[in-house]
A and B are shown apart, each in its own frame.
Chain A
Amino acid sequence: DGGITQSPKYLFRKEGQNVTLSCEQNLNHDAMYWYRQDPGQGLRLIYYSQIVNDFQKGDIAEGYSVSREKKESFPLTVTSAQKNPTAFYLCASSIRQKVSDQPQHFGDGTRLSIL
C-alpha cells in the first residue's frame, strides 16, 4: 500500500544532541512537509519541499534542518539550537496543488522527548 512512513515512533534526546527523524513516502508526491504539533495547538509548519534538491523554511524553522536528496525522502534534523524540541512531529506529502486540489497525507508521527 502507498503511504508515508515515519521513524522512529518515539525518540529521546539528550541536551546538546542532534537527532534526525526519518520520513519516506511511496506516493510519488512531489511536495513534502514537516509539522510540529504541541498540546492544544494546531500543526505548525517547520520546513517544506516542492521538488528534489529544493526546500524552504516554514513558520518555525529555527533549530531545525532538512534535506531533500531523493523524491521519496525528507529527513528532519532537530539540532541542539532548538531549545524546546519536545513535541509530536508529523511529516506530510501532497501532489502540488497547482496541479490538482488534493489534500496533504500524513505519516503516523514521531514523538520526541528530552531526557
Chain B
Amino acid sequence: EDKVVQSPLSLVVHEGDTVTLNCSYEVTNFRSLLWYKQEKKAPTFLFMLTSSGIEKKSGRLSSILDKKELFSILNITATQTGDSAVYLCAVLKLTSYDKVIFGPGTSLSVIP
C-alpha cells in the first residue's frame, strides 16, 4: 500500500533556529514529490521535486529529493514566527489521473 511518512509530527523552535523536516515514501509509479505549507486554511504550494540531488530554493526554504533512499527534506533557515504552519509532503503518482498521496504533516511552531 502506498504511504508517505513525515517526521517529526510536531516541532517547536525559537526564532532564528534552522529546522529540517523529513519525508519518506513508499509509493509505486513515483512521478514527483511536493511540499505544501498549510496555515489553517488552503495548503499553498512550495516545491515540486522530480529529480534526485537537485536542490530547490525559495528564500529561506530549500528542499532536496533522494529517489534512491525514497526520502526528501525541507530546510528552513533563520525561522520566523510566520513560518509556523503545518508542512505537508505529498507524492504524485503516474496513474490515469493525478493521484496524490499525502503525508500526515509536520506541525511547526516558531516562538519568539
Contacts and interface: CB of A to CB of B under 8 A. Distances in A.
A105 interface: yes
Contact of A42 (B50, B98, B104): B104
A14 B32 CA distance: 41
Interface residues on A, range: 20 to 34
Contacts of B41: 108-109
Given A101-B32, A106-B43, A43 B88 contact: yes
B104 A41 contact: yes
A58 to B, nearest CB: 8
B97 A56 contact: yes
B104 A103 contact: no
Nearest to A97: B98
A45 B98 CA distance: 11
Contacts of B36: 103, 106
Contact of A109 (B42, B44, B45, B90): B42
A63 interface: no
B67 interface: no
Contacts of B4: 42
Interface string B1-29: 00010000100000000000000000000
Contacts, number: 56
Given A96-B98, A101-B32, 19 more contacts: A4-B42, A35-B102, A42-B90, A42-B103, A42-B104, A43-B88, A43-B100, A50-B97, A56-B97, A90-B42, A97-B98, A103-B48, A104-B45, A104-B100, A106-B36, A106-B42, A106-B43, A106-B44, A108-B41
29 contacts: A4-B42, A33-B98, A35-B102, A40-B104, A41-B104, A42-B4, A42-B88, A42-B102, A42-B103, A42-B104, A42-B105, A43-B88, A43-B90, A50-B97, A56-B97, A96-B98, A97-B31, A97-B98, A101-B31, A103-B34, A103-B36, A103-B45, A103-B48, A104-B45, A105-B45, A106-B43, A106-B44, A107-B42, A108-B42
Interface of A: 4, 31, 33, 35, 40-45, 48, 50, 56, 90, 94, 96-97, 101, 103-109
